[in-house]
Amino acid sequence: MKAIICAIAIVLSLSAAVAAAESAATVQADQNAETLATHVCSNCHGAGGDSRSPTFPRLAAQQAPYIVAQIKAFRANTRGEQEAHDYMLGMVALFDDATAEALGRYFAKQPAVAGTPGDPKLMAEGKRLFTQGENGQGIPACATCHGADAHGNGIFPRVAGQHAQYIVKQLHAIQAQIRKSPVMHGIIKNLTPEQMNAVAAYLRSLS
């Protein structure tokens, strides 16, 4: 019986040591990610992920799994847009998985950017498309994956408050299969430029 108790005590002690080491590693990774985000990522994506230029997406309050997936895609050279690679490939080439995950956590906890309302008629049409889709064109509701509030869900990104120009650009890239996203391509393949602009205007207005 004493031998069993000793064995259990050893296992518990080892488990506690492993957990403590993992916790310390996570804390260090988070500290490094904050430094990286503050001094490097902010040059394009803005302080706290609040990008001021539509060339660069806003990352504040973005879904962590989505950020990690995109970092890995850039690192693996599987994002098709040349401009995106010109900006990002060199940045993330040396990021390991722990850094990618820590950056995902950092941006996910940043406060969301306030929405910017635009033309009421355009936003109303965008809201209709986002929440209801367009059955006649075979376009499902965007909210099905991105959430009713457009805050995203896991691998499906937050699109609320995003730059309208950036959203339109990505929709065109996915529709033309420059940016590889088979599921998304199937959903938006029949979306017109006018509809893209409407959805983007609506999303930009959200927080």
Residue 66's CB is within 10 A of a number of other CB atoms, namely: 20
Give pLDDT tens digits along the chain (207 positions).
666 665 565 654 545 554 455 677 899 999 999 999 999 999 999 999 999 999 999 999 999 999 999 999 999 888 888 888 788 988 888 889 999 999 999 999 999 999 999 999 999 999 999 999 999 999 999 999 999 999 999 999 999 999 999 999 999 999 999 998 999 999 999 999 999 999 999 999 999
Ranges of H-type helices in 109-179: 120-132, 143-146, 164-175
Q: What confidence score (pLDDT) does residue 165 get?
A: 98
Instruction: Specify whether the CB–CB gap between 95 and 71 falls below 8 A.
Output: yes
Residue 134 dihedral angles phi and psi, to the nearest 5°: -140, 95
Going from the N-terminus, what domains does the chain have, and what CATH number goes with each?
Answer: 2-45+57-108 (1.10.760.10), 120-204 (1.10.760.10)
